[in-house]
Structure formats: structure tokens, C-alpha cells
């Protein structure tokens, strides 16, 4: 179970938790359209219609990962925005590694895998 209050206490963000959603991207889009503030983290325990690069669907079961979309409004020129994704993945990777000492890899720019008993799991 994700503890949204603890996240909000530890970081200057709002948290919107939907246990079982179609996708956190769709939740974020709906939140933005409804006027929710920037700096909102959309979390889910599972997703039924998750989509990745090129619109490819993926399996997102409960307890299979941490599914999240972070809505930010950085004060940067548009061409510099993609670097935010890379920096965020690197920061999450570093935080998990330092806190847990788990063996991990970053796939593409925002997917983190961790190794358990010679198997790689995808988040």
C-alpha cells in the first residue's frame, strides 16, 4: 500500500492515489483538465490500460511495481523539457539504490528494473 500522506510530508507535492486506474497518465490528464495544481504525483497500485512508447500496452499488476505520473510545470524553454525525464529517472534510481542497495538498471529513460533471484523486474 502506498502511503500518500508520508509522501506529501516529505516532498512539496500533492498526491492523487487511485488504487486501480486505467493509467496514471490518463489520471494526470483528467486532473490537469479539472484544474488540479502542478506538482501533483498520480499514483496507482495497478493499471488496466497502461501505455508506453509508441502506444504499446503493458501489464501493470497490483504489487508488480510503482506506477506513477508526475505533473510538473518547470520554468524551462520547451527544448529542455525532455531532460527533466532523464534527470528524474536518475534521481529515483540513485535514491532507491542508496536506500535499499538493490541492483537496478534504467531502461529507456524512465523505467527502472530491479534484480531479484537472477530475474529482472520492470517498474
> How many whole angstroms separate alpha carbon 80 and alpha carbon 102?
31
In this predicted structure, what is the pLDDT of residue 122? 46
Q: What is the pLDDT of residues 51-105, one digit of tens each?
A: 777 777 777 878 777 788 889 888 888 888 888 888 888 888 888 888 888 878 8
Domain that holds residue 79: 74-123
Which CATH number belongs to the domain containing residue 37 in this structure?
3.30.930.10
Residue 42: other Cβ atoms inside 10 A: 25
Number of domains in the chain: 2
Q: pTM of the predicted model, to two decimals?
A: 0.76
Q: Which of 31, 46, 73 is the last residue in one of the domains?
A: 73
Residue 97 exposed, middle or buried by CB count within 10 Å (0-12, 13-18, 19+):
middle
Do 96 and 123 reside in the same domain of the chain? yes
User: Which stretches of 39-81 are DSSP H helices?
Assistant: none
In this predicted structure, what is the pLDDT of residue 118? 52
Amino acid at each position: 500500500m502506498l502511503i500518500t500522506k508520508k509522501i506529501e510530508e516529505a516532498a512539496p507535492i500533492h498526491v492523487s492515489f487511485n488504487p486501480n486506474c486505467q493509467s496514471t497518465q490518463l489520471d494526470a490528464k483528467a486532473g490537469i483538465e479539472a484544474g488540479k495544481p502542478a506538482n501533483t504525483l498520480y499514483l496507482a497500485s495497478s493499471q488496466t490500460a497502461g501505455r508506453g512508447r509508441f502506444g504499446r500496452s503493458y501489464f501493470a499488476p497490483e504489487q508488480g511495481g510503482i506506477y506513477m505520473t508526475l505533473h510538473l510545470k518547470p520554468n524551462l524553454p520547451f527544448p529542455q523539457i525532455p531532460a527533466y525525464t532523464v534527470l528524474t529517472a536518475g534521481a529515483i534510481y540513485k535514491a532507491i539504490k542508496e536506500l535499499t542497495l538493490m541492483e537496478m538498471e534504467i531502461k529507456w529513460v524512465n523505467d527502472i528494473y530491479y534484480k531479484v533471484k537472477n530475474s529482472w523486474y520492470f517498474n
